[in-house]
Structure 1
């Protein structure tokens, strides 16, 4: 419960906001627009400025022609921290609220990875709820890398039906030495549970699949499409740019109806992988459906390198900031913002069935990011509340220090 002072602060923070002189990408370009935000939504947008009576006590944000985009949706985040492949000390700490908001991320989907033992579904759901209390849009996947999936209710389908924040199952690992080596029948059983739960609840009901470096690639998914009645949209492979041959497989699956997810991880010169920006341009140039590709960060997860015996030889950590970094790289190449922005916003919202997100229009959620001239997030609004103003964090998580 909020005390009186906290309620007063919350009410003050929820004042309507009038945004003036925004160069809106919704994600399609709409030119100079003005917007009125109230009650967590965009309640009006137009090219003619509003003159509001002072009694309404509206905060005004004049963007002076800066670009306004939908908040980024990071659909693959280790909100509890990932890692653990090199001992307990290699467990990555959970990212704090401002690590997301500084990066222009307004919605995250949390998941468990290799370590779905010391970190489990209770901690995952609790962390998602904590982020929600702090003002971030947060959801999660049931299960983790392995079969049988870790659950809260004893079954995947009932987890998805009865636990509000759970949208599907993930990241179930295939073609990876760390996976539980699922058979086709096992994969189909989990996929069918996702699909039926999605029908029952209106949730996404997808199976978010971690792809490793194994030579089998997406063979199991192709067989699932060939041999069953399950809709292709149920299967959502991620990390598809980690090998060039795997990426070619992913493009073929997108043509068959799957939505594929590119990971914004670092790629060295000469590596058999595509960077997020290279992968997205190759995808769009391939003629595959442009609405079936998304980009996520793997934030909070470790990015390990292994030797031939499966031992960790090096490790990085994913950051949500990789999303805007890849977007800036695309813009530096002269790519039109409107051509690539859907992969960071609307495509993910539609796949995850998050109505009102990933777009800027009257009635949509007031999850917005203002980009400065260099493509960094300078203002971030989530649910009508300012989290970042002029590049400075104005809302922090409970345990964040002012310098965090």
Structure 2
């Protein structure tokens, strides 16, 4: 007898979308059989034509707790994740106080999260100037790798590294390094303005191109793994393709906002659209989609980076003064599915980009797939239903989103984390 049998005519498995029954015992999937398989179970649920997906894995989330919990926190961020079909997040090391740049700070963050998490949570460490000697111990403590900025992070306690400091960090520990790739020499001070084009001009695509070249060179010389975070500028794709062809260990991700939003349609004063690197034009987005389809871009993750409405400067609409970040951990799945279906992609593609590949990036082979032995992270998703985004109904702490008022396809009906329908998450370690 199993604990749960979940039946659907559209189960997204590694071999495709098929009618199936998924059997769960405890935290694990123990069988994936025919839709009408006769299995004795404590609970049998037939969702008919609603799809069953593996829980999404979001490897780029800023939770901000402790220290800036008024921006977000573990309770709200993970509740929003579960509501959006995300069952695993990896928390970024900055915007919390202290940042996760040594073992002591990691323990402080884990203590703050204890008893508050609704999905499984892992942690990135931070590589900043002067902490290279602390990276091996932090890696041994279970962080999934190390984040660095090549430009100002926006918070003083997490300064950027130079090319030489990045190289030193890569030599200090054999780990995955994830890089915010904008070159400060190509960035310009943005004048006070409510016009998005003025902000966009201050962060040109050349800043990404130069920084990605720096990160690739560090990976080439060290032999370490480097992952380019939130790729915005499609013009950098040939650099990444050439490096990969050469054998350099480099990968890249992008985010829903870069794939679906268009700089040319952002209204004056709409600071909810500000993020760094910036949203670019529709042609750029088309090229990112193609790179995603080709596998050159590895995955789609949220870069959930919220703040208070005051810091977004919604009172003045000043893009230069507003905090740069988009809160989207709850909306990533329907945002991407809405755009993907219009472009001819299927649910299996979305699951590949948002579940399996992010899980593989960080070595979580038990996540992001519906197969025997995997964690029973399961999502009932109605891909044909629609809803209108109301910021006040979202679970993250502050009701600010560039998707407000948009009609999206795809509604998450139920989410299980390790077989639990009212989930309490667990901490994840690189060693899991």
The aligned counterpart of 2:172 is 193
Per-residue CA distance 1:117-165 (angstroms, 9 max, x = gap): 478534433345445xx45211001126x32349xxx71111111x23x
Mean CA deviation greater in 272-281 or 345-354: 272-281
Checking the alignment, whether the CA contact within 8 Å between 1:238 and 1:263 is kept in structure 2 is no
Give the Å deviation of 1:274: 6.0
The aligned counterpart of 1:207 is 177
Identify which of 358, 383, 386 aligns with 2:418: 383
Query: What secondary structure, in the 3-state scheme, does the structure 2 residue paired with 1:92 have?
Result: coil
Given the superposition, is the C-alpha separation of residues 396 and 211 from structure 1 closer, same or farther in structure 2, using an over 3 Å criterion? same
Checking the alignment, whether the CA contact within 8 Å between 1:124 and 1:140 is kept in structure 2 is no
Identify which of 222, 229, 247 aligns with 1:238: 229
Query: What secondary structure, in the 3-state scheme, does the structure 2 residue paired with 1:265 have?
Result: helix
The aligned counterpart of 2:330 is 321
Query: What secondary structure, in the 3-state scheme, does the structure 2 residue paired with 1:298 have?
Result: coil
Give the Å deviation of 1:293: 0.7
Per-residue CA distance 1:309-364 (angstroms, 9 max, x = gap): x9524555422024211232212333222234211011111111112111111111
> Where does the alignment leave 5 or more consecutive residues of structure 2 unmatched?
185-206, 265-277, 314-318, 386-409, 426-432
The aligned counterpart of 1:93 is 72
> Where does the alignment leave 5 or more consecutive residues of structure 1 unmatched?
1-14, 196-204, 388-394, 398-404
Give the Å deviation of 1:46: 0.9
Query: Is the aligned partner of 1:38 residue 2:55?
Result: no
Checking the alignment, whether the CA contact within 8 Å between 2:19 and 2:35 is kept in structure 1 is no
Question: How far apart in 2 are the matches of 1:104 and 1:381?
Answer: 9
Query: What secondary structure, in the 3-state scheme, does the structure 1 residue paired with 2:211 have?
Result: coil
Question: How far apart in 1 are the matches of 2:244 and 2:151?
Answer: 19
Checking the alignment, whether the CA contact within 8 Å between 1:192 and 1:230 is kept in structure 2 is no
The aligned counterpart of 1:349 is 359
The aligned counterpart of 1:105 is 86
Query: Is the aligned partner of 1:78 residue 2:59?
Result: no
Mean CA deviation greater in 59-68 or 329-338: 329-338
Query: What secondary structure, in the 3-state scheme, does the structure 2 residue paired with 1:155 have?
Result: helix
**Number of residue pairs matched by the alignment:** 342
Mean CA deviation greater in 57-66 or 186-195: 186-195
Checking the alignment, whether the CA contact within 8 Å between 1:69 and 1:360 is kept in structure 2 is yes
Give the Å deviation of 1:249: 3.8
Checking the alignment, whether the CA contact within 8 Å between 1:176 and 1:213 is kept in structure 2 is no
Identify which of 257, 273, 280 aligns with 2:280: 273
Question: How far apart in 1 are the matches of 2:343 and 2:169?
Answer: 41
Question: How far apart in 1 are the matches of 2:166 and 2:85?
Answer: 34
Per-residue CA distance 1:351-384 (angstroms, 9 max, x = gap): 1111211111111111111111232211111101
The aligned counterpart of 1:49 is 36
Per-residue CA distance 1:147-184 (angstroms, 9 max, x = gap): 2349xxx71111111x23x11112x1014475744233
Checking the alignment, whether the CA contact within 8 Å between 2:10 and 2:49 is kept in structure 1 is yes
5 Å matches for 1:99-248? 99-113=80-94, 117=98, 120-131=105-116, 134-143=117-126, 146-149=128-131, 155-161=134-140, 163-164=141-142, 166-170=143-147, 172-176=148-152, 178=154, 180-195=159-174, 205-212=175-182, 214=184, 215=207, 216-226=210-220, 228-231=221-224, 234-241=225-232, 243-248=233-238
Given the superposition, is the C-alpha separation of residues 16 and 141 from structure 1 closer, same or farther in structure 2, using an over 3 Å criterion? same
Per-residue CA distance 1:177-221 (angstroms, 9 max, x = gap): 7574423332122223341xxxxxxxxx31111223642321221
The aligned counterpart of 2:49 is 65
Per-residue CA distance 1:48-75 (angstroms, 9 max, x = gap): 533344xxx6111101032111111010
Checking the alignment, whether the CA contact within 8 Å between 1:265 and 1:322 is kept in structure 2 is no
